[in-house]
């Protein structure tokens, strides 16, 4: 079975994003970029499935600028077999991403598409669901556990009430949650080997996808500063404070 793993280049999760002075977006100048953490988990899960013998090939895909090759090389160093970069400098919305991934999946015919449930750059949490709808495939979102058995995959989903277990017929779409696994670090030898692995470069036009945005960002602003807390002497004082604030 072939596994397709989309990965996104985002601001490193350790970096505090800065808003541009004109409020048009997030400032990406001279900022450390890395693989989206949820996608890193997806790559790790694909590798583990291959190590168990459930998969034979892992194909990493990224849609973004030329520098996204670095993100794909990270996936290759972790254990992916080859990569595809759909190069564009435009901001690509989730629906356009899903359409490109569908076109790639139609060519590659993967038994499983594993991707992060959302990117930490826009938190849309839409691409996996849209891809499943476009392909007419079953989906298991917010995966906590993934087990492939023959022509089906069992996914334990993280839901508000706990864990929900679903069984999906392959081919299927799975989106990963944080507690699915702990991604491995790429070793230096594997980083060197990754430079020799095939990485194809494509464009959205190659897949017949129009990247014209359907949404317009009106304004981006810093979140409000959290107000300082206040200590009270006892429960009675707390109740009075709450009443004064009109909460109760």
**Residue 248 pLDDT level (bands cut at 50, 70, 90):** low
Could you read off the pLDDT of 117-173 as tens digits, one per residue?
999 999 999 999 999 999 999 999 999 999 999 999 999 999 998 999 999 999 999
CATH for 166: 3.40.50.620
Q: Which 8-state DSSP code applies to residue 50?
A: H
Could you read off the pLDDT of 193-235 as tens digits, one per residue?
999 999 999 999 999 999 999 988 889 888 888 888 888 889 9
Q: Which 8-state DSSP code applies to residue 209?
A: -
Instruction: Please count the structural domains in the chain.
Output: 1
Question: Tokens in use for 104?
Answer: 């790639």
Give the domain extent around 234.
Answer: 2-244
Gap between the Cα atoms of 54 and 247, Å rounded: 54
Q: Enter the pTM of the model.
A: 0.88
Q: Are strands 112-116 and 172-176 parallel, antiparallel or unpaired?
A: parallel
132 sits in which H/E element: helix 127-135
């Amino acid at each position: 079975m072939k596994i397709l793993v989309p990965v996104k280049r985002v601001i490193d999760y350790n970096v505090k994003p800065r808003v541009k002075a004109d409020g048009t977006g997030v400032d990406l100048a001279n900022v450390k970029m890395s693989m989206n953490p949820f996608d890193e988990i997806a790559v790790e899960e694909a590798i583990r499935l291959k190590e168990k013998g459930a998969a034979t090939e892992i194909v990493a895909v990224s849609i973004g600028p030329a520098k996204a090759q670095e993100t794909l090389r990270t996936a290759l160093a972790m254990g992916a077999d080859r990569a595809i970069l759909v190069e564009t400098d435009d901001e690509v919305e989730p629906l356009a991403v899903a359409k490109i991934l569908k076109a790639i999946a139609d060519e590659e015919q993967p038994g499983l598409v594993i991707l992060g449930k959302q990117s930490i750059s826009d938190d849309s949490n839409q691409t996996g669901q849209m891809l499943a709808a476009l392909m007419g495939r079953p989906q298991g979102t917010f995966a906590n556990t993934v087990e492939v058995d023959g022509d089906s995959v069992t996914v334990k989903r993280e839901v508000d009430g706990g864990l929900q277990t679903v069984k999906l017929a392959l081919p299927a779409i799975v989106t990963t949650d944080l507690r699915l696994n702990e991604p491995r670090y790429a070793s230096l030898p594997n980083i060197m080997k990754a430079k020799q692995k095939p990485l194809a470069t494509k464009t959205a036009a190659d897949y017949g996808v129009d990247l014209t945005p359907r949404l317009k960002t009106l304004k981006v602003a810093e979140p409000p500063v959290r107000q300082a807390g206040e200590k009270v002497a006892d429960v009675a004082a707390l109740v009075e404070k709450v009443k004064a604030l009109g909460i109760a």
